[in-house]
């Protein structure tokens, strides 16, 4: 179970079994179990909430709490482990983009480095906010419609919404894979469920089973790493 206090949203990884007493059990009816867990979430009686549960193709179960208030009973969300907004020193000046202000805002908001966000945008869309992939992914960070809807995006071609939602989704993957960047990137490209089924926990382990991922994903990770060097100072 994960809490996103920014948009007052709960999300649950359907492809991963429960690991703690605060998690939803991975039973045959995850939505029902999710409602049970909601009983542990404090609500303001004077502000009735609107709950919407949706099972998206990204392997995550989303619940929008409306005006409800998430209490500390389910824990606090922190920045994605293993990430930092501090840049790595280098002998060159990082390349600037037309979206630096939005990227910096998202970086500070979700704890994902600016260089990684820029590298994802560069690789996904070459900074073209209007691009649509053959699979239907849209915008700067190439969000699929289901994922975009789960993240509250109303216009996938809006740079501000795409960067905010894409960075938040990337931060979810970094949280899920304990800051292992290659695993998080593979999940962003191929889906968290597919990567989770590999049964690996570290980037080093991922490299030993990389051939089990689509060739596109294998190349994607390499492209991201190469692009990130351009945006690191």
Catalytic annotation, residues: 124
SS3 10: strand
SS3 166: helix
Cβ–Cβ under 8 Å, residues 195 and 186: yes
d(CA 36, CA 232): 45
Looking at 87-202, list the stretches that DSSP marks H as alpha helix, in order from N- to C-terminal side.
Answer: 100-110, 114-125, 145-150, 159-176, 181-190, 192-196
The kind and range of the H/E element at 31 are helix 30-38
């Amino acid at each position: 179970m994960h809490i996103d206090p920014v948009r007052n949203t709960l999300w649950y990884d359907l492809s991963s079994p429960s690991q703690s007493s605060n998690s939803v059990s991975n039973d045959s009816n995850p939505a029902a179990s999710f409602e049970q867990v909601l009983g542990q979430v404090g609500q303001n009686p004077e502000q009735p909430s609107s709950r919407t549960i949706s099972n998206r193709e990204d392997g995550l179960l989303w619940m929008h709490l409306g005006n409800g208030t998430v209490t500390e009973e389910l824990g606090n969300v922190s920045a994605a482990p293993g990430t930092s907004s501090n840049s790595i020193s280098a002998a060159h000046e990082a390349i600037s983009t037309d979206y630096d202000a939005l990227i910096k805002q998202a970086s500070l908001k979700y704890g994902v480095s600016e260089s990684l966000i820029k590298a994802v945008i560069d690789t996904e869309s070459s900074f073209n906010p209007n691009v649509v992939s053959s699979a239907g992914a849209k915008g700067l960070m190439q969000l699929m419609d289901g994922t975009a809807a789960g993240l509250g995006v109303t216009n996938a071609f809006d740079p501000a919404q795409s960067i905010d939602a894409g960075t938040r989704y990337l931060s979810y993957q970094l949280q899920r894979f304990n800051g292992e960047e290659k695993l998080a990137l593979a999940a962003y490209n191929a889906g968290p469920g597919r990567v989770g089924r590999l049964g690996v926990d570290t980037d080093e382990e991922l490299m030993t089973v990389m051939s089990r991922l689509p060739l596109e994903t294998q190349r994607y990770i390499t492209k991201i790493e190469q692009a990130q060097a351009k945006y690191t100072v």
